[in-house]
Chains A and B, each alone.
Chain A
């Protein structure tokens, strides 16, 4: 298996633009997580899905952030409009059911820079 795939790896955009980050989880994993990494807060959980259904979006910072999972093999995280303070590394992770393994498998991340 190729692991969790994220695209793009780097994104540079200007304030006010829409940004879409993409994720393909590991086949067979029914949990998908979106995280944001910053120096101040470490790895923050933004939202997670179980069987394509959003379960907990309490970490989504503002209404400018939205996430979807239209099928078991694809998810997007959208920021509209983007702001400089959104600059961070965004990770997607997937995991099997918790009763099998509590480990999460991370993608390589997308480094977002908003100018």
Chain B
């Protein structure tokens, strides 16, 4: 039972354009969401997060949008750069639930073409 789903295994965009990565979740108890970025032969690294009390969080070129009613979040990268090419994982948790347990999706491979 995949509680966090990333239905697009891969995405290709041109440099300078917008990249939109999507994530859906099924557990309504989730109230904190994170995006991680992973380069080949390295561990995932934290990129950006959002609490369920917000619907948008921005950090430079990266913006995460949360639609609680649809149980959907998306990561926007504007403008996309070749160095953004990586696998992006969406993760969810119950914040303050006496645990740091994260549930990850299957990842989306982003390729930014020069």
List A residues at the B interface (Cβ < 8 Å).
4, 31, 33, 35, 39-45, 48, 50, 55-56, 91, 93, 95, 97-99, 102-109
Contact = CB atoms under 8 A, between A and B. Distances in A.
Interface residues of B, number: 28
Interface string B91-104: 10101111111111
Given A102-B49, A102-B93, A103-B46, A41 B32 contact: no
Interface in B50-77: none
19 contacts: A35-B104, A41-B106, A42-B105, A42-B106, A42-B107, A43-B44, A43-B89, A43-B91, A45-B102, A45-B103, A56-B99, A91-B43, A98-B96, A99-B96, A102-B32, A102-B102, A104-B100, A106-B36, A106-B44
The 10 closest A-B pairs by CB, nearest first: A106-B43, A42-B106, A43-B104, A98-B100, A103-B46, A95-B100, A106-B44, A31-B100, A108-B43, A107-B43
Contacts, number: 68
B45 interface: yes
Given A44-B104, A98-B99, A106-B44, 12 more contacts: A35-B104, A42-B104, A42-B106, A43-B44, A48-B101, A98-B96, A98-B98, A103-B49, A104-B46, A104-B100, A106-B36, A109-B43
Main secondary structure of the interface of A (DSSP, over half): strand
A102 B100 contact: yes
